[in-house]
Amino acid sequence: MESLFPLLEMLRGNFPTQLFEGDLPSHNLSWEIAAKHLKERKERFHLLEAGQPSPYLPQIINGANLYPRSFWFVRVPTIAKVIDHYRPILETDPAIEKQAKPPWKGLIVRGAVESNFLYATLLSDNLLPFGTLAFSLVVLPLKNQVMLSQTDAVRQAHRDLAEWIRHAQNLWKKHRKSEVDLLEYVDWQGKITRQRTRGGYRVICNKSGTYVTACVMSVPKDSDWEVNRLPVQGFVADNTTFYYDTDSADEAYYLAAYLNAPATDLAIKPYQSEGAFGAQSGGGQRDICRRPFEVLPWPRYNPKDKFHRRLASLGRKARDLVSDWLSTASEKDRSMPTGKLRSRLRVEVLSDLLKQIDELVIAILSEANTSASSSSSHTPTTRSLFERSDED
């Protein structure tokens, strides 16, 4: 049976690691005090060896920290019989609230909000290879790439938004473990305000998971897009995903095909952190982040390259296949666990196409790595890493 070798040359630097996570009440604490606020988990760390990264790497960006989720993720109450599209009555999405952790679990925000401040986002649980299940509706005090404070909202006559912010701020001050202001927290490092919320194409990839999964979004230039029957002002990527923006549809599908290729996923496996259970059982890889662009020298899209054009075309075909399947799938099929649904799509819908994508990805990477390694005889070529053989 023909298969890809397990990239033996990339398996160096496998170290057991202890990670500590939590919110500390202040800086420069002693270990005795800090330990009370931290949780420990064991993983394995794979050292990234020096090599040639992709030129795309600096432009692969993590989405915004839309937390606490109870303040921002909303829905129209089920009891609503009439929906005001200009200032709808909204409440915290119960599906999101169920996933909340203390002290945010059980907190509900309700009220009217001007629809000028409604946006769409995509959680990684709704991300499929070459497709999406559903978008989430979020309230964000974002206007012209600027976050509005409660005072700003009042001065600009956005009374409903001002009241929503006031309520959220009060809950934040009561339960927070950080001294950072709520709006500064949710726009940490400008992760909301630097995003392009309208127009162009956005490639979305999961931040973590056993397998790389990516899709392409065509973001409307105008506010003619609806989520849950309400108009939204654009799209904001969530921090459970990484994204890349482009005005070229061909480039977007070229990247989506690369990210969904089994060869790409196999290449980054040694560099994904693992939980303790995964390390013992041979699975359980977690973080993906920017690994496909850190580990492999994936080249920029070149419209003159026939392999690049062909890969973009296959990406579009894959999108159409997934879209067609979703349009006829039963609710039972659509609501199955995300991992199982992704696997089913790869096996039943995309299998033949993924084989073609794999061949092109390996060919493009081989050429790119040969060029990159010409200046360093110590870097193994991608061709050697993806060499094929026959197995009995």
Per-residue pLDDT reduced to its tens digit, 108-145: 999 999 999 999 999 999 999 999 999 999 999 999 99
| Residue 270 within a domain | no
pLDDT at 341 over 90: yes
pLDDT per position as a tens digit, 346-360: 999 999 999 999 999
User: What is the model's pLDDT at position 35?
Assistant: 85
Is the pLDDT reported for residue 391 higher than 60?
Answer: no
**Mind listing the pLDDT tens digit for each residue in 166-199?**
999 999 999 998 889 999 999 999 999 999 999 9
Q: Count how many domains the chain has.
A: 1
* Model pLDDT, residue 6: 39
DSSP string, 80-112: -SS--SSS-EEEE-HHHHTT--TTTTT---EEE
Question: Which of 61, 239, 218, 235 has its CA nearest to residue 137?
Answer: 235
Mean pLDDT, residues 231-246: 96
Is 16 part of any domain?
no
Q: Which helix or strand (DSSP H or E) is residue 152 part of?
A: helix 150-155
Please determine, for residue 79, whether its predicted confidence score (pLDDT) is greater than 90: no
> H/E/C letters for each residue in 261-297?
CHHHHHHHHHHCCEEHHHHHHCCCECECCCHHHHCCC
Domain carrying residue 183 = 62-247
In-domain check, residue 253: no
Structure tokens at 217: 């979004």
Residues 242, 6: contact at Cβ < 8 Å? Answer: no
Mean pLDDT computed over 151-170: 97
Per-residue pLDDT, averaged over 300-309, amounts to 97
pLDDT digits (tens, 9 = 90+) for 9-61: 443 445 566 777 777 777 777 888 888 888 887 765 544 444 589 999 999 99
Task: State percent of the chain over pLDDT 70.
Answer: 84
Instruction: Give the per-residue pLDDT at 69.
Output: 95
State the Cα–Cα distance between residues 388 and 214, nearest whole angstrom.
Answer: 25
Is 54 part of any domain? no
* Residue 303 domain flag: no
